[in-house]
Amino acid sequence: MDINKTQAGHFYAVGVGPGDPDLLTLRAARLIKDADVILAPQSKKSKTSLALQAIAPLVGDQEVVISQYPMTRDNSKTRERWGLLADDVSDRCRRGQSVVQVTLGDPLIFATSSYLMEALAEQMPTEKLHVEPGISAFQMTASCFNDALTLQEDRLLLMSATDLLAVENALEQCETLVLFKAAGDLPGLLTLLERHNLLHRAKLVSAGGQGEHEVRVADLSRWQRLDLGYMTTMIIHIGKRGWHEDVAS
């Protein structure tokens, strides 16, 4: 089996990176170009599918299906929605079409692909379901500042910033904390970091790789605060034990 070729009757959850078409893997590009159907998830709140924008140069004859999904914490509604989409995808695959679902970043990190994959696993054989990794937003964010995420025995913790109490607890559990969805309650988050004297150790990227919309802040203690959108990732370098101690001594 050639893993680089999109196969008839197969489904692929493909990570397309954080939004810059240059950050697609070669394999993702090949699979997308060869697909019969491109499935692009779009939140009901947004006007465009960022994942689809990221692959615009690769879209030609493929059928493009925009799948709108609700941003809800109601698990039964979420399951129902993704179950219906899985019915459609498995039907297309039975008819011999290859279906590629494009997802921002990596399909296994805070991604709607996981819901669809779970529903599809009940309807299709495992060997016809594939996940292709993408560069995740946290990797892109770290690379914007040339900063190591981990050294030696450091612990890296990835989480959503939606629950500030959970964020506060996490500060004790790792040397590097990555916060997805960091702009949800940015004033609250900044106050929390200030209280822990960590503002100067925190950085963020918003709309990374998205041209003039991109915002990079290397030191949040020196930042003129402004409103940021949903696509915001923060990294807090709480303490790199080992490396800095060695350098200081």
Ligand X SMILES: C[S@@+](CC[C@H](N)C(=O)[O-])C[C@H]1O[C@@H](n2cnc3c(N)ncnc32)[C@H](O)[C@@H]1O
Contact status: 97 vs ligand X (CB under 6 A)? no
- Amino acid identity at 210: Q
- The whole-angstrom separation of Cα 192 and Cα 150 is 23
Closest distance of CB 101 from ligand X, Å:
12
> Could you tell me the two tokens for 49?
């599918």
Closest distance of CB 44 from ligand X, Å:
14
Q: Which stretch binds ligand X (CB under 6 A): 32-40, 103-111, 117-125, 165-173?
A: 103-111
129-132 sheet: strands from edge to edge: 63-69, 37-43, 99-103, 11-15, 129-132
- The whole-angstrom separation of Cα 118 and Cα 124 is 10
- The whole-angstrom separation of Cα 135 and Cα 127 is 24
Contact status: 109 vs ligand X (CB under 6 A)? yes
CA 149 to chain centroid: 17
Q: Which stretch binds ligand X (CB under 6 A): 29-37, 150-158, 178-186, 215-223?
A: 178-186
Nearest to 102 by CA among 159, 26, 37, 187: 37
Question: Is residue 27 classed exposed, middle or buried when 0-12, 13-18 and 19+ CB atoms within 10 A define those classes?
Answer: middle
Closest distance of CB 200 from ligand X, Å:
21
Q: Which is nearer to ligand X, 123 or 210 (CB)?
A: 210
- Amino acid identity at 136: S
Contact status: 231 vs ligand X (CB under 6 A)? yes
Contact status: 142 vs ligand X (CB under 6 A)? no
Residues 3-32 that bind ligand X (CB under 6 A): 18-19
* Residue with the CB atom nearest ligand X in the bound state: 105
- The whole-angstrom separation of Cα 132 and Cα 107 is 7
Closest distance of CB 178 from ligand X, Å:
9
Q: Which is nearer to ligand X, 62 or 233 (CB)?
A: 233
Residues 197-226 that bind ligand X (CB under 6 A): 205-210
Q: Which stretch binds ligand X (CB under 6 A): 2-10, 82-90, 105-113, 169-177?
A: 105-113
Place of tokens 């921002």: 104
Nearest to 240 by CA among 167, 191, 164, 174: 174
Q: Can you tell me which of 6, 90, 98, 233 binds ligand X, judged by CB under 6 A? A: 233
Q: Can you tell me which of 14, 93, 99, 104 binds ligand X, judged by CB under 6 A? A: 104
- Contact residues: ligand X, CB under 6 A: 18-19, 103-106, 109-111, 136-137, 180-182, 205-210, 230-233
